[in-house]
Amino acid sequence: MNNARWLSAYEQLKNRTDDTPFVKELREKEKKLAYLESISIDPETVRVAHLDQAAFPRIRR
């Protein structure tokens, strides 16, 4: 990284008002995480399934 780019990146970091780490699409990822964390599974309603053969994709004709 050349000095001008480094200085620009340094200035941007120095002037940030938010302390959140920079992650591309952070808000979208936080929404997905909140959704996944909101899923509630009742262990009493979960059952084990046994498969007799492997699943194969449907052949379209």
The pLDDT value given to residue 36: 95
24-51 mean pLDDT: 91
The domain locations on the chain are: 3-36
Rounded average pLDDT over 6-30: 82
When pLDDT is averaged across residues 2-22 and rounded to a whole number, the result is 80
Predicted TM-score (pTM) above 0.75: no
pLDDT band at 1 (very low <50, low <70, confident <90, very high): low
Output the pLDDT for position 39: 94
Q: In angstroms, rounded to a whole number, what is the distance separating the alpha carbons of residues 33 and 56? A: 31
Residue 35 CA to residue 37 CA, distance in Å, equals 5
What's the average model confidence in pLDDT over 9-33? 84
CA angle 42, 46, 51 (to 5 degrees): 160
